[in-house]
Structure 1
């Protein structure tokens, strides 16, 4: 059954498959508690909620006997750092340049889950893609898919770190895989590249300083001391992923839906700043970017314009100073001040 499952999942498009027990990661409860106690989760209150489930996968669904962890590559076809040298353009995290991965990966997970039920009538499953209190990365390490690197993301010796994770909890007893060991060695590339010093120490992240958190999860104005570090990054940040030496083993993604949209590879900041709510929803239909809403998105664009040095951004920012959203209006005022200081 285990070999047949792995073979089917690979045929379905997953690059890597592993299995662990729901109770394979007893250490995560304490780590999560320390992370929250130190306030490093920022405004992500959902991390503190349902702590018992998040810290103990076995408690999330007591009937589960196995956790199947699967990896779906989304490896970029060009250097994601190159866009940072074009301040008039918007840098969008690679994973968000294609279709919403939640939908794409979940559909594939359900396919594998249905196959498992067909092989074992009466079996039950639950599938998760970053949408429930599941600690996917520690479970994936326990299942042998890779290890959590110094940047806290999952790394694999044969996939690099450009891949999504999906989980299938099941009542079927499956032979677990051996957990993966850490292979970062003395490398510090991911720690040293971070523009906002979001890593207090190797294997530790302070989300309050992380550009991915700030541009996606953080509501309201971003700390002014961190805005310069954002550069032209308006949704997420790939720096710590992009510099990892293990990416030399990365494999290309197989699903065309995850390939970057051409209009999201290097969109024009001035055009994005002009989006109203309706235009924002149309432009980002089917994209994970849509979930943060127009106001938070344009707030990020305003910061990027302030870092751009574009004199022609003045009129757009003047209009945004009257925006109904306070964070957008404040961001536009800050951006104008930055541009005036550059002249």
Structure 2
């Protein structure tokens, strides 16, 4: 086998479900798309999207010496119905990707092992990235043939569905690029129809400012009152559009059991009373930890307000004077809803 075939085979041995190659300049349309996106304000409070846009818009600027980009997908497909918890409003619904250990750590270590192997085999220089640098991973994923960006804007594959983390290895080695993947969504609108807050402006166009994943993770301060009821008991992320995709019939089981961790669907009553130290301890090693106690408890209080469980009233009342303004506001909203 030539070098590319061998690195792809080794990537699969490492646990990735697919590996494909593209050039750093494979997405020339990215600059215009990003400019229009930020100009429209769709990035909301995600200021980092507007920073270093010249890097994010053109991977060849990020590292000019790179000649090839190896794009990799790693499955975290759930073993259960991720939407079943929505029928139990006294429990907190946490997005599948955050159920276990932080994927940044797991995927990056796997990427580094693959990179070391590649250096030993062929030399060259390499840089590895997994959602930690201004890399347009989904666009590069489509350009490399990993999958296509579906109508929900996430990468979809006929071979592994849409439950996957993406990683990339930039290298000075010259690897033969693969053909881009074409769109296979057809007339299906399942993902668009599933969105609780109607965050899709149109197919392939998401307004994150209405997306529950953005609201529960990125948005600071109180969430707009007209969106709170639609959040239900989703306290960290949202999987509705991903779960609705018919291509998940081809989903590949997660290769690393650490993704299927013990976060589960905790009772809201337990989560609302966590102080900062307890929150950090409970979610140590989890992606949930990065949003901090205040934003997390704010989310939990919205879920309490949507629970119709009057037994949770006293917990909400106890947080109505919380030092954090967003928590206190969410607590008062929950009390009013339960009343």
* Runs of 5+ consecutive residues of structure 1 not aligned to the other structure: none
Number of the residue aligned with 1:61: 63
For each residue in 1:111-169, what CA deviation from the matched residue of structure 2 results, as whole angstroms up to 9, or x when unmatched? 00001111123x11111110110000000101100000000000000100000000100
* Equivalent in the alignment of 1:323: 322
2:303 alignment counterpart: 304
1:105 shift after superposition:
0.2
Secondary structure of 1:140's counterpart equals helix
In the alignment, the residues of structure 1 paired with residue 112 and residue 19 of structure 2 have an alpha-carbon distance, to the nearest angstrom, of 15
1:168 aligned partner: 169
Match of 1:72 in 2: 74
Distance in 1, matches of 2:50 and 2:230, equals 28
Q: Is residue 217 of structure 2 the alignment partner of residue 216 of structure 1?
A: yes
Q: Give the structure-2-normalised TM-score.
A: 0.99
Whether the 8 Å CA contact 1:94–1:260 is kept in 2: the answer is no
CA deviations 1:56-113 (Å, max 9, x no partner) are: 0000000100000000000000001111000000000000000000000000000000
2-structure distance, mates of 1:184, 1:201 = 14
Q: 1:186, 1:278 → 2: CA distance?
A: 49
Distance (Å, rounded) in 1 between the aligned partners of 2:81 and 2:36: 35
Match of 2:96 in 1: 94
Q: Does the CA-based 8 Å contact 1:88-1:268 persist in structure 2? A: yes
**1:1-343 to 2 correspondences below 5 Å:** 1-121=3-123, 123-261=124-262, 264-340=263-339
Following superposition, the deviation at residue 260 of structure 1 comes to: 2.8
* Alpha-carbon separation, structure 2, partners of 1:124 and 1:320: 53
For the residues of structure 1 that align with 2:239 and 2:106, how far apart are their CA atoms? 21
**CA–CA separation in structure 1 for the residues paired with 2:187 and 2:33:** 23
Please tell me the root mean square deviation across aligned C-alpha atoms, in Å. Answer: 0.6
CA distance, structure 1, for counterparts of residue 25 and residue 273 of structure 2:
50
| Cα distance in 2 between the residues matched to 1:248 and 1:159 | 8
Q: Which runs of 4+ in 1 moved over 3 A?
A: none
Q: Which runs of 5+ in 2 are unaligned?
A: none
CA distance in 1, matches of 2:35, 2:308: 42
2:265 and 2:98 map into 1 onto residues whose CA distance is 12
The answer on whether the counterparts of 1:67 and 1:169 sit within 8 Å (CA) in structure 2 is yes
Q: Measure, in 2, the Cα distance between the counterparts of 1:298 and 1:272.
A: 7
Q: Report deviation, 1:329.
A: 0.4
CA apart distance, 1:266: 1.5
State the aligned residue count.
Answer: 337
CA distance in 2, matches of 1:289, 1:126: 27
